[in-house]
């Protein structure tokens, strides 16, 4: 009797346990089939779907007038699906012939056991179409986009270029990547358990979203002409390189930026020099490419020389330590402490007013007013004018000012800084600061980006840029306009004169370090019209041979540029 009761209890416990297990399994099954069905359905589909990307068309870059500077070219990507190959030898032979590839390379890719193996990218569309027409089992031809620059070398160091994945590498291409890149689409193909596509089952497509169009302030015609002028003077003077920068001093829009020698944007990994790349190591070649891609206007610093006298004069006028009728004497040098600092005119300029001093670009005059200003005030204005920081230009890699630590500056250092030596800034910083000093006293942010447009041309975003009011008074700015016009009409900048226009400007000739190398940088910065500047131009010539004075070789370049672009910009002769 006892055993019978014991067995009943035992059976009951087993029944309860089995029931609990069965209920748990049923509950789990209900959960999976009802509440988690979508997740497992996606997992199941993924096992039977092959995914291929459809690259989005990258947004175009257009100039101020709508001329396309960067666009896309349709190319193809050729791939093979190993599980679908029926005639591997035929595929290898066909791809070798059409793609001009060696057999070993193609064979390794075709025979590799993988879901999909890419054979070649950036294949011309005509070639891709021919391969598609062969109807080779297991061969996929997908259309793709390759960046294309219609004008090859034009503004190469400004526009920049993209890599194999169509992502920006330098210049505006990388700076505005988020607007230009677009969103890739996908092709989803259904396959069986072996990975073979099922016939009669349509492909699912997620269409790509193209990138937006970037409109910039560059003007194609002005950029082209400025580049021609830069190439001409570089050849004539056998210079290492030449930069020309043109901008609107009222709002900071850059209308041209040239850095010759430029490089071919459609072939950016081929050096634009005659160097033998085969003899270079990989590191040496990369260094050479980096140098070729450098934008000298923003990436490189230099001693500005006498163009900096615009800044010294503005600070001294603003502080009231000099007036236009102050008299000076130039014997051809000035002794500061134990140092004899020479003027460019060996015999000196003799007696002269401050106005004549700036017309003559006389170093002793600027030494005198720089010492009157003093170290503390010099640094205060240097900072006030924005020279201690970056300009904020919308290009990557902007270099900063190289300046003495204030505590290390004595009278000799101050004297040389007053006429633009013993420190370094970028040409972009120089042009921006002078723009600010002659436009009424407003510090502007130099820039290229104007607005973003969608694929239908509708405005998506307009860029806003910072302005700092009154870095100098309007009176000081107007005085500088008058002084710098007199430099061109009566002084050292006379080679920049354009008949019918009031041109203001300043020349410079500075020596590079080490001084013993006898290498020079010649430059000129000018603006027009002098009493209401609408365009500012700067030319910098690095290591010219023969005559190297800025007033002789750089000023005529800006004169020729202004002579052609002022009427084009609607600025009429008086």
Which residues lie below 8 Å from residue 237, measured CB to CB, with a gap of 6+? 541, 544, 545, 546, 548, 553
Question: What pLDDT sits at residue 39?
Answer: 65
CB 245 within 8 A of CB 263: no
Active-site residue set: 306
Tokens representing 181 are 């890149």
The long-range contacts involving 280-283, CB below 8 angstroms and separated by at least 24 positions, are none
Question: What pLDDT sits at residue 565?
Answer: 96
CA pair distance 351, 329, nearest whole angstrom: 4
Question: What pLDDT sits at residue 225?
Answer: 97
In angstroms, the Cα distances linking 535 to 248, 486, 567 are 5, 18, 12
> Quick one: which of 555, 483, 546, 489 has its CA closest to 526?
555
Residues of the chain with pLDDT under 70: 1-7, 32, 35-53, 187-204
Per-residue model confidence as pLDDT tens digits over 145-193: 889 999 999 999 999 999 877 899 999 999 999 999 988 887 666 655 5
Question: What pLDDT sits at residue 103?
Answer: 87
Question: What pLDDT sits at residue 49?
Answer: 56
Question: What pLDDT sits at residue 315?
Answer: 98
Question: What pLDDT sits at residue 118?
Answer: 86
CB 445 within 8 A of CB 213: no
Beta bridge partners of 144: 75
Question: What pLDDT sits at residue 111?
Answer: 85
Question: What pLDDT sits at residue 135?
Answer: 86
CA pair distance 410, 425, nearest whole angstrom: 20
Per-residue model confidence as pLDDT tens digits over 353-391: 999 999 999 999 999 999 999 999 999 999 999 999 999
H or E segment and range at residue 426: none
């Amino acid at each position: 009797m006892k055993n019978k009761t014991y067995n009943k209890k035992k059976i009951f416990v087993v029944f309860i346990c089995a029931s609990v297990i069965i209920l748990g399994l049923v509950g789990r099954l209900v959960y999976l089939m009802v509440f988690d069905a979508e997740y497992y359905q996606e997992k199941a589909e993924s096992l039977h779907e092959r995914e291929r990307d459809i690259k989005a068309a990258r947004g175009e870059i257009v100039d101020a007038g709508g001329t396309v500077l960067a666009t896309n070219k349709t190319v193809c990507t050729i791939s093979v699906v190993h599980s679908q190959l029926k005639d591997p030898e035929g595929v290898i032979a066909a791809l070798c012939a059409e793609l001009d590839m060696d057999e070993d390379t193609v064979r390794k890719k075709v025979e590799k056991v993988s879901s999909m193996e890419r054979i070649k990218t950036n294949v011309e569309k005509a070639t891709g179409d021919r391969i598609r027409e062969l109807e080779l089992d297991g061969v996929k031809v997908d259309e793709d986009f390759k960046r294309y620059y219609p004008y090859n070398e034009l503004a190469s160091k400004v526009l920049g270029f993209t890599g194999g994945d169509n992502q920006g590498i330098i210049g505006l291409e990388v700076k505005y990547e988020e607007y230009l890149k677009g969103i890739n689409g996908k092709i989803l193909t259904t396959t069986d358990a072996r990975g073979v596509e099922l016939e009669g089952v349509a492909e699912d497509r997620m269409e790509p979203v193209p990138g937006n169009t970037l409109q910039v302030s560059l003007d194609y015609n002005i950029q082209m002409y400025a580049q021609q002028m830069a190439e001409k003077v570089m050849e004539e003077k056998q210079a290492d390189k030449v930069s020309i920068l043109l901008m609107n001093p009222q709002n900071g829009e850059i209308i041209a930026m040239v850095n010759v020698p430029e490089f071919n944007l459609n072939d950016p990994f081929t050096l634009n020099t005659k160097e033998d790349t085969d003899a270079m190591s990989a590191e040496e070649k990369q260094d050479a490419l980096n140098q070729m891609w450098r934008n000298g206007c923003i990436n490189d610093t230099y001693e500005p020389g006498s163009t900096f006298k615009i800044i010294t004069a503005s600070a001294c006028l603003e502080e009231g330590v000099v007036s236009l009728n102050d008299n000076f004497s130039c014997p051809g040098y000035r002794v500061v402490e134990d140092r004899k600092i020479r003027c460019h005119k060996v015999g000196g300029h003799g007696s002269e007013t401050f106005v004549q001093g700036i017309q003559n670009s006389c170093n002793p005059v600027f030494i005198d007013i720089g010492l009157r200003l003093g170290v503390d005030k010099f640094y205060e204005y240097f900072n006030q004018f924005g020279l201690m920081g970056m300009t904020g230009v919308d290009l990557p890699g902007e270099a900063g000012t190289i300046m003495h630590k204030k505590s290390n500056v004595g009278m000799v250092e101050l004297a040389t800084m007053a006429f633009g030596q013993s420190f370094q800034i970028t040409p972009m910083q120089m042009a921006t600061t002078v723009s600010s000093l002659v436009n009424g006293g407003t510090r502007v942010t130099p820039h290229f980006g104007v607005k973003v447009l969608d694929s239908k041309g509708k405005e998506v975003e307009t860029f806003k840029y910072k302005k700092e009011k009154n870095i100098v008074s309007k009176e000081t700015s107007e005085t500088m306009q008058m002084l710098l016009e007199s430099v061109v009409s009566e002084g050292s900048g006379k080679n920049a004169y354009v008949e019918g226009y009031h041109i203001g400007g300043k020349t410079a000739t500075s020596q590079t370090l080490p001084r013993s190398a006898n290498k020079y940088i010649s430059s000129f910065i000018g603006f027009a019209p002098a009493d209401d500047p609408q365009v500012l131009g700067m030319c910098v010539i690095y290591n010219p041979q023969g005559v190297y004075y800025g007033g002789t070789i750089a000023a005529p370049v800006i004169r020729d540029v202004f002579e052609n672009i002022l009427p084009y910009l609607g600025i009429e002769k008086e």
